[in-house]
């Protein structure tokens, strides 16, 4: 049994766990399993300031899902601590019909904004006005960064 008594609010913790049993003085270990635990879900939108690889697991040697281009919008889910020094940013990235739930290095350059989710399909237009050309449709449920509110 283990209890981490030094948990901080708004953090995620990554644990590698394995069980063991002692039989006749010999110790037998299971294979490792991983667990990510959060003290509070932090849901914010952020824009990536430079191209960065989205990793499948919180490890420098992890395989990458995809490379996020500069100015990509992501949903920040929390910070995952591997140990006292190493941490990764847990994020969700949606592009077209795919959603990637992965990790960025903690030194990734992000600019945070208030966030929301599209409550209906939204037409993104070339300029303001319903008669302007539609560039793309933002699907219902897509996280969006709220850069500025105007009346």
91-144, pLDDT tens digit by residue? 999 888 788 999 999 888 888 877 777 888 888 888 888 999 998 888 887 777
**Residue 10: per-residue pLDDT:** 65
The reported pLDDT for the residue numbered 42 is: 59
* pLDDT of 33 strictly over 90: no
Closest Cα to residue 69, out of 88, 93, 90? 93
- Encoded tokens for 108: 């990734």
Give 95's Cβ-side CA count (13 Å radius): 13
Residue 36 scores a pLDDT above 80: no
Here the tokens at position 74 are 């992501």
For the chain, the structural domain boundaries read: 117-146
Distance in angstroms (rounded) separating the CA atoms of residues 12 and 36: 7
| 140 to 3, 47, 102, 112, 124: CA distances (angstroms) | 40, 20, 21, 22, 13
Mean pLDDT of 20-32: 93
Is the model more confident about 18 or about 145?
18
- HEC readout, 13-37: EEEEECCEEEECCEEEECCCEEEEE
pLDDT digits (tens, 9 = 90+) for 38-79: 655 556 788 899 999 999 998 889 999 999 999 998 888 888
Q: How far does Cα 125 stand from its chain's mean position? A: 28
């Amino acid at each position: 049994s283990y209890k981490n008594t030094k948990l901080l609010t708004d953090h995620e913790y990554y644990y590698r766990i394995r069980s063991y049993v002692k039989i006749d003085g010999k110790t037998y270990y299971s294979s490792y399993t991983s667990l990510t635990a959060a003290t509070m879900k932090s849901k914010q939108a952020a824009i990536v300031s430079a191209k960065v690889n989205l990793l499948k697991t919180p490890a420098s040697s992890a395989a990458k899902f995809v490379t996020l281009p500069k100015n990509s919008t992501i949903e920040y889910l929390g910070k995952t601590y591997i140990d006292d020094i190493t941490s990764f940013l847990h994020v969700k990235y949606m592009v077209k019909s795919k959603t990637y739930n992965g990790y960025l290095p903690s030194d990734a350059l992000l600019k945070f904004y208030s966030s929301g989710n599209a409550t209906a399909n939204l037409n993104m237009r070339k300029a303001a006005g319903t008669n302007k050309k539609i560039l793309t449709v933002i699907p219902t449920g897509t996280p969006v960064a709220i850069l500025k509110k105007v009346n």
